[in-house]
Amino acid sequence: MIVVLTGGTGGTKFADGLRRVINPQDLTVIVNTADDFQWWGLHISPDIDSVMYVLSGRVSKERGWGIAQDTFFCLQTMKQLDEPSWFQVGDRDLAVHLLRTKLLAQGKTLTEATAKIASKMDLQVGVLPMSDSRVQTRVNTPAGELSFQEYFVKRGYQDSVNSVRFEGASEAKAAPGVIDAILSADAVFVAPSNPVTSIGPILAVAQIRQALRDTSAPVAAISPIIGSAPVSGPAGILMAAQGFPISINGVAKAYEDFLDVLIVDDADEAAAKELERSDLRVSCMNIMMRSENDREQLAKRALSFVSQNLPRKISVAS
Binding positions for its own copies, rule: CB under 8 A? 40-42, 67, 70-71, 73-78, 80-83, 90-92, 94-96, 98-99, 101-102, 105, 117, 120-121
190 vs 243: CA distance, rounded Å: 20
Burial class of residue 256 (count of CB atoms within 10 Å of its CB; 0-12, 13-18, 19+): exposed
Q: Are strands 27-31 and 126-129 parallel, antiparallel or unpaired?
A: parallel
CB of 122 to its own copies, least distance (A): 10
CB of 50 to its own copies, least distance (A): 17
Residues found in the chain: 318
Between 74 and 316, whose beta carbon lies closer to its own copies?
74
27 and 126 Cβ atoms separated by less than 8 Å: yes
Q: Which of residues 106 and 278 has its CB atom nearest to its own copies in the complex?
A: 106
Least spacing, CB of residue 142 vs its own copies, in Å: 30
Q: Would you say 121 or 285 has its CB closer to its own copies?
A: 121
Q: Does residue 186 sit in helix, strand or coil? A: coil
Give whichever of 71 and 293 is closer to its own copies, judged by the CB atom: 71
Supply the minimum distance, in Å, between the C-beta of residue 38 and its own copies.
Answer: 9
Query: Over 150-171, what HEC string results?
Result: HHHHHCCCCCCCCEEEEECHHH
Write phi, then psi, for 108 (nearest 5 degrees).
-70, 150
SS3 content of the chain, % helix, strand, coil (to 5): 40, 20, 40
Tally of CB atoms within 10 A around 213 = 11
In angstroms, what is the minimal distance from the CB of 109 to its own copies? 16
Nearer to its own copies (CB atom), residue 88 or residue 293: 88
- CA-based nearest residue to 288, from 232, 244, 240: 232
Q: What's the closest the beta carbon of residue 124 comes to its own copies, in angstroms?
A: 17
CB closer to its own copies out of 119 and 278: 119
- Residue 143 has φ and ψ, to the nearest 5°, of -85, 5
CB of residue 99 vs its own copies: minimum separation in angstroms?
Answer: 6
Of 89 and 289, which CB lies nearer to its own copies in the complex structure? Answer: 89
